[in-house]
Amino acid sequence: MNVTLYPLTSNDLPRVAHLRVAPDQIRFSGTVHEAFAAAEPLVDFHAIAVDTDTVGFFKIDRGYHKNYPFAGPSDVGLRAFLIDLHHQGKGLGAAACGALPAYLNAHYPNAKMLWLTVNMINPAAIRSYIKGGFTDTGNTWPHGDAGPQRIMRLAIC
């Protein structure tokens, strides 16, 4: 399985518009269409591919520390991470997470740490992040849209 990550521009919705998650997962990741519709100047879009098939999407938030005080000003945040419904359960989320340090080091050379919050009632995502190299800090972020979240981090450099 050859997982690659690549950047998207705000005009690249057609490249990822086909990506879907199960209806009960939307509260955790949102949709690709919602991500592209949001006006967030400090957020960059990225895709996950296996061979030539785009199978996932995520956002990197360069202003993450402004909303999450546990992150430092040079850190970035992972948001809206999703793997298409038809490609879930194959280890692609963990593989994509494993590819993040080298990828982000190349695209965000000043960032030292990648942070995320993951809903406590989303054990599949938690397992995937841990398998992909994230560390659970043991702390909780109580302000998640779908309830309390675990705070996780991954060293980029």
CA separation for the pair 90, 144 (Å, rounded): 27
Where do we find the tokens 């406590």? Answer: 120
pLDDT at 1 over 80: no
pLDDT score of 78: 98
pLDDT score of 145: 83
H-helix or E-strand containing 66? helix 64-67
pLDDT score of 45: 98
* Overall pTM surpassing 0.85 (yes/no): yes
CATH number at residue 28: 3.40.630.30
pLDDT digits (tens, 9 = 90+) for 12-64: 999 999 999 999 999 999 999 999 999 899 999 999 999 999 999 999 999 99
Q: For residue 6, name the pLDDT band (cuts at 50, 70, 90).
A: very high
3-state secondary structure of 95: helix
Q: What is the layout of strands, in order, in the sheet containing 149-155?
A: 3-8, 43-50, 53-61, 76-83, 113-119, 149-155, 135-141
Q: Are 60 and 46 in contact (CB under 8 A)?
A: yes
3-state secondary structure of 131: helix
Q: For residue 144, name the pLDDT band (cuts at 50, 70, 90).
A: confident
- The count of structural domains within the chain is 1
pLDDT score of 146: 82
pLDDT digits (tens, 9 = 90+) for 60-116: 999 999 999 999 999 999 999 999 999 999 999 999 999 999 999 999 999 999 999
Question: Across all residues in the chain, what is the average pLDDT?
Answer: 95
Find the domain containing 19 and state its range. 3-155
Nearest to 92 by CA among 35, 150, 132: 132
Nearest to 118 by CA among 93, 140, 88: 140
Cα angle vertex 85, ends 84, 91, to 5°?
Answer: 75
- Can you read off the two tokens belonging to residue 98? 């494993």
CA separation for the pair 91, 58 (Å, rounded): 16
pLDDT score of 107: 97
